[in-house]
Chain A
Amino acid sequence: MNFDPRYSGRNFSSVGTRPIRPDGVDKVTGRARYGADFNMAGQLVGRVLRSPHAHAVIRKIDTSKAEKLAGVKAVITAADLPDLTDGDAAMFDILDNCMARTKALYDGHAVAAVAAIDARTARQALKLIEVDYEVLPHVTDVDEAMKHSAPLINDAIFTEGLEEKPVKPSNVCKRTQYGHGDVHQGFAQADMIIERSFKTEQTHQGYIEPHACVASVNPDGTADLWVCTQGHFVYRQHCAQLLGLEASKLRVTSSEIGGGFGGKTHVWAEPVALALSRKAGRPVKLVMTRDEVFRASGPTSATSIDVKIGAKKDGTITAAEATLRYSCGPYAGMWAEIGAMTAFACYRLENVKTVGYEVLVNRPKTAAYRAPSAPMAAFAVESAVDELAKEIGIDPVDFRIKNAAQEGTRASYGPVYGPIGIGPTLEAVKNHPHMKAPLGTNQGRGMACGFWFNFGGQTCTDLNIGMDGSVSLAVGTVDVGGSRASLSLVAAEELGIDYAHVKAIVADTSSLGYNDMTDGSRGTFSSSMATISAARNAIKILRERAAQMWDISVDDVVWEKGHAVAKGEKHGNLGKLSLKEIAAQSGKTGGPIAGHSELVADGAGVSFATHICDIEVDPETGSTRVIRYTVVQDAGKAVHPTYVEGQYQGGAAQGIGWALNEEYIYGKDGRLQNPGFLDYRIPVCSDLPMIDTQILEIPNPNHPYGVRGVGETSIVPPLAAIANAVSNAVGVRMSHIPMSPPRILAALEAERERFSR
C-alpha cells in the first residue's frame, strides 16, 4: 500500500454525515435498473428443465423433439458445457450444479435448457425434452444423512479432516475441530453444567429480485453478460472458465441488486445463458422463476447442534463444547467449519472445543446468508448460556459481561483479539431503557450476542477529476447496502470537497481491475481503503499541478480542506488554489487528473452485536408477536449512519423471520413443498415492530477511519434473542427453529403434561 492503513483518530467533515441516499429515489420510483430490466435486440427467452427427483441417475436425455419445435433456437444439456475445470473440484461442483451431468442430485437440479423466441414456446419446448431417469433413494435430513444406512450421494467424497484417511466414500465430507485448553478438566471444575441439543431448518435469503441475466456471445469469441450479482468479477472468472472464454473477452456488467445477502455470490443461471447464446447465436435472457429461486439457488444449511457449557457458582464459565452438523446440499461446503469457528467467539474461555461436520443431503447447494453459519451456532450457544445463567442465578446480561471476550482474549477459533466491541455492546444493552420497559401477561424479554469476521480482499478504484472539478469514482464492489454513498463520503472527506461533487458508480469488468466478491461485509471496508488510497494519489498530483501553476517546488505545497496551500513565508503572497481551479487548468499542466488504487485490503476488523427482543406469545394458538426489538452493534466507524442502521434493521428483520416462520419443508418424496412466498412466509412490515438501533464505534485499528464491516453481524443474535424471550414469556425452552405456532403449541402442551403428572 502507498499509505499507512492504521487507524488515526481524526475529526470528520463528510464521513459520519447522513446525506439523502442517492439510490433511494430511483428505487422507490421504479427507475432503478435491475437484472431483468435489461434487454437486447433480438434476444431469446431462456428456460431451464429441472429434475423432479431428489436423487436420480440421468440415463438419457432426448432433445430432438424440442429442437424441431418452431421458434426454438437452441437446446443444451451437459454435453454443451464440457468439463474445462482441469481438476478443480470446486469449479466442477459449480459446473455440475448449473447443469447436471450424470445424476440429478436434488429436486430442481437443472438437466437441460432451451432458448426460444418467446416464453410460451420455451415452456412448450421443455415439455418435449424426454429424460430417462433411474430414481435412487434420497436423504434430505442432516442427521439422517450421517447414518451408515443413508443413501450415498457422491461417491467421490471421502471425509476430510479425519486422523486416518477413510477408504470408503461418505455423506460426511469434512470434520473440523477448533478450541484450546482441556474441556474435560474444565467441566470437572464446573459447579453447574448445561447440555442441550438444537435444530434449525433450512432458510432462504428471501431477496425480492430473482436471479436474472442477459447473455450475448459473439462469433468472434467475445461476450457480454448483464447480471444481478454480488461480484461481477468473480462471475466473469467463473463463467469464462466454464465456457472456455478468455476472461478479458467476457464483459460483465452488474445491475442494481434487489437483495442478495450471500445468495448472489454464486453463478446459477449465467453459464447456462451464455451456453444457450453461444449455440443460438443470439442474446438470451434467463430469469429464474420464484419457485426456481427456492428450489435451485442457494439456501442456508439445516443444522443439528449439541452444546455443553459448564460454569462455577460465581458465574465463571470453565468449559464450553459444541458439536455442529450442517447440511451443505449435494456438494462439498465449509459451513460447519464456519459454525465451529463462530460458536463461542463472543466469549473468553480457558477450555473450549468445537467440532463441525459438513453433511451432504439431496437439497440445493447451500450458499451464504449474511454471516453464514454463525446464526445457527449462536442460537444454540446463546440459548444454553441464558439457561445456564438462570440456573446459577445470575442476570443473563451480567453473566455475559463476566465472560465476554476482550482485547487480548484468545478467540475460540484461534487468533488473539485486538480492540473489540462485545463488551461495549453488552454494557450498552445493560444500560438501555429497553431493558427497563414493563412487560405484560405472556410477554417475555430475551437478549443474545453475535459475532462475524468481516473480510478484506482484492479491490480497485479509479478516482477521476473532471475539468469542472467534479469527481467520478469508479468502484468494483457491487453496492448491496449503500456503498456508493459511503465511498463518495470517503472521497469527499479525503479531497476536502463537498459530497455533492462526488459521483460513484459500479464499473463493469472491462473498466476496472479485478475486485473480489462483495461478501463478508467487505464492500465498504475494502473499497473505502482503496478510495482513500486513490484520493491520496490524486492529491499528490493536485499538489504537483498547483506547484506548476505557482512555479514553486511541490514540497512547498500542502493539501488542506480541498485546497492547495503554499506553505512558508516566502510564498506568503500566494492565495489558495481550489480543486476546481486546479482542474480547470489541468489541460495546461499535464492533462487529466486521476488517482488509482489496486490493493489487497487486509485487516478487516471483527464485529459484534447484542440484541434485545420483547415478544408476546398467545398460549392458545402458539402465535407470537415481536413487540419491541433493539440492536446494538459495533460499526468501527459509521461512514453513513443511515445505511448502517438499515443494515442493523435488515439483519434483525431477516433473523426474526428465520426464528419464527421460515423453513424449507421437504416431503417424503424429497421434493420441496413450499417453493414460493405464499407458503414460505417471510416477515412483512406488519410482522415487525420499529427496530431501534444503537451504533457503537470501537475503531478497527487496521483502517485509517476505523471502519468495520456492518452488514452481517446483526442477523446472528435474533434466533437466540427470540428463543430466550419466548422462554421468559411462557416458560418453555424452544430448541427447534423456526418457533412456528405448531412448534410452540407442542412445547406448551408438553410442558402442561409434564406439570400435570
Chain B
Amino acid sequence: MVEVTLWGSLGAAAGGQSKLDIEAKDIRELFRKLSEQYPAFEPLIDRGIAVAIDGTIYRDTWSKKLPPGAEIFLLPRLAGG
C-alpha cells in the first residue's frame, strides 16, 4: 500500500481527493489500479502523467518500483522549450 498525492488538475479526477491509498508495487500497477477505481483517470494517463518518487520524476517508466514508505506524487506531464 502506498500513499499517492495528486496535484494540479489531477485531484479533480479522483473526486477532489488529493491523497489516495493504492496497493501497487510499480508505476504500471499504480496506473491500472487508479483507472479501475477512478475511470476519469484513464484519459489523463493516456495523455501522460509524471510520477515523482522521493523527488525524482519519472515520465515513461512503468516498471519503476514504488518502495514502501516512498513519497509518491502524480504530476501532469509538462512541455519544455
Contacts and interface: CB of A to CB of B under 8 A. Distances in A.
A457 B81 contact: no
B79 A368 contact: yes
Contact of A163 (B8, B16, B55, B71): B16
Nearest to B47: A90
Nearest to A452: B80
Contact of B56 (A334, A340, A600, A602): A602
Contact of B81 (A90, A174, A177, A712): A712
Contacts of B60: 457-458, 600
A416 B54 contact: yes
Contacts of A602: 56-59, 61, 64
B9 A176 contact: yes
Nearest to A416: B55
Interface string A514-531: 000101111000000000
A456 B61 CA distance: 11
A413 B78 CA distance: 13
B7 A372 contact: no
A161 B12 contact: yes
A453 B7 CA distance: 16
Nearest to A418: B55
Contacts of B75: 341, 413-415
Interface in A432-473: 453-458
A156 interface: no
B45 interface: no
Contacts, number: 110
A519 B56 contact: no
A341 B8 contact: yes
Contact of A415 (B12, B52, B59, B81): B52
A455 B59 contact: yes
B56 A702 contact: yes
Interface in B33-72: 47, 52, 54-61, 64, 71
A603 B75 CA distance: 15
A604 B57 CA distance: 7
A178 interface: yes
Given A414-B52, A600-B60, A519 B81 contact: yes
A175 interface: yes
Contacts of A417: 55
B58 to A, nearest CB: 5
A614 B2 CA distance: 50
Contact of A372 (B56, B71, B80): B80
A712 B12 CA distance: 31
Most buried by B among A161, A372, A415, A454: A415
A521 B79 CA distance: 10
A371 B81 contact: yes
B57 A334 contact: no
B9 A372 contact: no
A110 B3 CA distance: 47
A415 B8 contact: no
Interface of B: 5, 7-9, 11-12, 16, 47, 52, 54-61, 64, 71, 73, 75-76, 78-81
**Pairs of residues from A and B, 9 with the lowest C-beta to C-beta distance, nearest first:** A520-B80, A262-B81, A519-B80, A368-B81, A415-B52, A161-B9, A370-B81, A414-B73, A176-B9
